[in-house]
Amino acid sequence: MMNLKTKTRSIGKYLPSRWFSTACSVMLTILLITSPAVVSAHQQKAGLTRILFNPNTGNIEVMHRFFVHDAEHASGIIFGEEQNLLESADSRELFSSYVINRFAIQATDETNTVEELRLTYIGSEVDGQYIWVYQEIADSWGLTSLSIVNMALRDVWPEQVNLVNIEKEGVLQSLSFEQEIEVLSVNF
């Protein structure tokens, strides 16, 4: 008959040490805590546009910011082939063209004249995890309101949210384009 104590001892040498077991538990806990943050970072379909009435230049400056990962993924869907925005100036220009064709500003001045602002494309750049697309126009200083359309990436992902911050004379106003919203307005 076999000694039970000996059998237990021989199995015991195959069980992990207490230190190893604790280390595995800590690593698993860290992984479980950080995983949702990593996953949600790639699922955050959000863009930011800043409209600045720049008193130093006399221009209205428009700066669009998107996550490079989202922009590359969307570009592949839109243009039918993979785009590398980090390394290809042509890919950045293609994406920039897409953005400026889905963004528009209609302005009303103090005489109630309404006209679409013809923004000039300035360029684009990649800064860390973001791609920036720049536009501007000389300011018509008598503007009393803006109506804005911002559909960039919203035709690709219905859950895309585009926040637009408008800053004029130190006052900040924000518009949030989400769900079915296509046009929003601000008054000055």
So what's the pLDDT on residue 15? 41
- Block mean pLDDT (10 aa), the chain, length 188: 44 44 43 42 80 96 97 95 95 98 97 96 97 94 94 96 97 97 97
pTM: 0.77
Tell me the DSSP string of the chain.
---HHHHHHHHHTTSPPHHHHHHHHHHHHHHHHHHHHHHHHHT--EEEEEEEEETTTTEEEEEEEEEHHHHHHHHHHHHSS---TTT-HHHHHHHHHHHHTTEEEEEEETT--EEE--PEEEEEEEETTEEEEEEEEE--TTEEEEEEEE-TTTTT-TT-EEEEEEEETTEEEEEEE-TT--EEEEE-
**Confidence (pLDDT) at 38:** 41
pLDDT at site 162 = 98
* Amino acid 42: pLDDT: 53
The predicted pLDDT at position 43 comes to 52
CB 125 within 8 A of CB 68: no
| Whole-number pLDDT of residue 20 | 42
Domain assignments of the chain as residue spans, ordered by start: 4-40, 45-187
